[in-house]
Chain A
Amino acid sequence: MNEVIAFYPILIKGTITTIQLTVMGAILALVISFIVGLARISKFRSVRVIAIIYLEFFRGSSALVQMFFIYFVLPMWGIYFDALTAGVVACGLNVGAYGSEVVRGAILAVGKEQHEASQALNYSVYKKYRYVIIPQAIPIMIPTFGNLLIELLKLTAVASLITISDLTFMAQIIRVQTALTLEPFLLILVIYFIIASILVKLVDLIAKKFSKGRNIMTAGDK
């Protein structure tokens, strides 16, 4: 184990890269979730069709394939990403597809009377969603977004296969250099578990905060 600990500088670097990938991927995924989720309930058929194509494409094919496509195939068409950006884009696009279903489901779960009330107040569509519908949909989304965040963290490990030096990549380096197998992988499993557990706690806190004064079940409730 001491030999592995001696590699702590690259382990710390790997942890930071993993967190970077997770945070940036999560931001991208969140933005895409809302854009695509709202597009799914658009009045315009063409907008809905484009959103469905996006959704089915990214949900239907494998994340690893998408990552390789972005990193190895797109450059052939002149679209260059460095590895980290390719990783973030792939993670964000993939998880964003799943997230869009969460957004759509939550918005549809807001009662019909809320739409009627907005109409009675003569709200525009923008005002209706901005001030009435979405604020009520967000607490419903949070627990599921929390699960997706953990999936995203786990997905970042796959980014090591397109040469991003995240935790998994660093563990491979340590394995090759020390010929140890159990220690490096066990150590990073524990690090991943700690990061994930912190994220779970964080999402729980956010869920509690948002559900305060609202009669909505959160993940922790029974």
Chain B
Amino acid sequence: MEWNWDHAFAVLPQLADGLVVTIQATIVASLLAYVLGLGIAILKMSKSKFTRVSLYWVTEFVRRTPILVQLYVVFYVLPDFGIFLEAFTCGVIVLGIHFSTYTSEVFRAGIDNVPKGQWEAAKSLNYNPLQTWKNVILPQAIPPMIPPLANYLITMFKETPLLAAITVVELFRAADQYSNSHYTYLEPMTLVGIFFLIVSIPSAMLAMKLEKKFKQAKTA
């Protein structure tokens, strides 16, 4: 089958609209993943063994099951309980929760890397927990976390096509709709692939640069 430029140009505006939705979903989902992940990381340091163990199994359950099925659960099951959410909201919530279990590991490693003396120093200054976290721990823990968190942002971007399965018209579904109505998969799918590469390869390079920068800062 020959490449048809008419199809390629006709599908572009729809892909552009889709790309906007994809990027919106990525940003909102990643913010959710970061906030939740930090919360999980802090809770996992709890003194209560019950909290730690139950949290471990909940996060493992989320990590070891497919995002697609989790999307179906939220999308199809919640309405049965009288909760009606837009497909986009469902998708963002699922992506955010799924990746919060990954980002929580990044946060935990980052927090673990802050020397014990810093906690003791905060204590000796009579800081309360909020002050300790806000003024002492997080400012030191966050910079080295940025590269891995950026990598998860890129991973989430590449997972957004799954939202198509619950009717969100993002980049991939926009292409799929065109394919179905014009009986051609070649141009739309190729273009979607190119769109993904255009966004993710430079972002990955940027993340790698960040990583190098923080490594140098640490050894200097």
Contacts and interface: CB of A to CB of B under 8 A. Distances in A.
Interface stretch (B40-48, B118-126, B184-192): B184-192
A182 interface: yes
Interface stretch (A5-13, A63-71, A113-121, A208-216): A63-71
Interface string B166-204: 000000100010010000011001101100110011001
Interface in A58-113: 59-66, 68-69, 72-73, 76-77
Interface centre among A154, A171, A175, A192, by most chain B C-beta atoms within 10 angstroms, is A154
Interface stretch (A42-50, A127-135, A136-144, A183-191): A183-191
Interface stretch (B7-15, B66-74, B86-94, B132-140): B66-74
A66 B196 CA distance: 11
A95 B201 CA distance: 17
B196 A158 contact: no
Given A76-B1, A161-B165, A192-B64, A61 B172 contact: no
User: Interface of chain B, helix or strand or loop or mixed?
Assistant: helix
B64 A171 contact: no
Interface residues of A, number: 40
A193 to B, nearest CB: 5
Given A65-B189, A181-B77, A72 B179 contact: yes
The number of chain B residues touching the other chain, given as a range, is: 35 or more
Contacts, number: 114
B186 A65 contact: no
A192 B196 CA distance: 28
A171 B72 contact: yes
A185 B72 contact: yes
A56 to B, nearest CB: 6
A61 B186 contact: no
B84 interface: no
Given A64-B172, A77-B1, A193-B64, 18 more contacts: A60-B158, A60-B200, A61-B158, A65-B192, A66-B193, A69-B189, A76-B185, A76-B186, A150-B63, A157-B69, A160-B68, A161-B68, A181-B77, A189-B65, A192-B65, A193-B61, A193-B65, A196-B65
The 8 A-B residue pairs whose C-beta atoms are closest, nearest first, are: A157-B66, A196-B64, A76-B1, A72-B185, A61-B196, A64-B161, A154-B66, A181-B76
Interface of A: 56-57, 59-66, 68-69, 72-73, 76-77, 150, 153-158, 160-161, 168, 171-172, 175, 181-182, 185-186, 188-189, 192-193, 196-197, 200
